[in-house]
Amino acid sequence: MDQKSAAYSDLERFTELSAALREDATLEQAEKWWTMYQRIEPVVEHHPRTSKYERDLLRRLRARIGEAIRSVREKHPSNPSVSQARIALSALQASMERRVMGLDG
């Protein structure tokens, strides 16, 4: 797999997690969020061009996913952490896409 194909494969992981993050998730679905996050984390953490902004977004995403999973376990009806996780994921994904595809797409 060449470097460009690997980068697109990495971006698919962001899309997969984004689709899975739902307020009405069951506990089983919510626990899968962590596995999905763990596949994204090394992509961001170990890339030599990762910015401080991206690392901050990654930390925020990690915290919000953890909070969201706890909220589902405790059966809280309102789960703002899911929305906050989606916001952090979206910003991180956009930043990574700009890096992979360039500004002109």
Q: Shortest CA distance to 72 belongs to which of 64, 35, 58, 41?
A: 64
Number of Cα atoms under 13 Å in the Cβ half of residue 44: 27
Cα angle, residue 17 at apex, residues 12 and 20 outer, rounded to 5°: 130
Q: Whole domain around residue 33: which residue ranges?
A: 3-101
CB 31 within 8 A of CB 68: no
Binned at pLDDT 50, 70 and 90, residue 96 comes out as confident
Binned at pLDDT 50, 70 and 90, residue 56 comes out as very high
Using the predicted structure, report yes or no on whether residue 87 has a pLDDT greater than 70: yes
Q: What pLDDT, on the 0 to 100 scale, is given for residue 97?
A: 86
Binned at pLDDT 50, 70 and 90, residue 100 comes out as confident
The average confidence (pLDDT) of the chain is: 87
Q: What pLDDT, on the 0 to 100 scale, is given for residue 4?
A: 54
Total domains in the fold of the chain: 1
Q: What is the CATH number of the domain that holds 35?
A: 1.20.120
In the block, residue with structure tokens 């999905």: 36
- Percent of the chain past pLDDT 70, that is, above it, reads 87
pLDDT digits (tens, 9 = 90+) for 10-40: 889 999 999 999 988 899 999 999 999 999 9
* 3 state SS of 74: coil
Q: What pLDDT, on the 0 to 100 scale, is given for residue 20?
A: 95
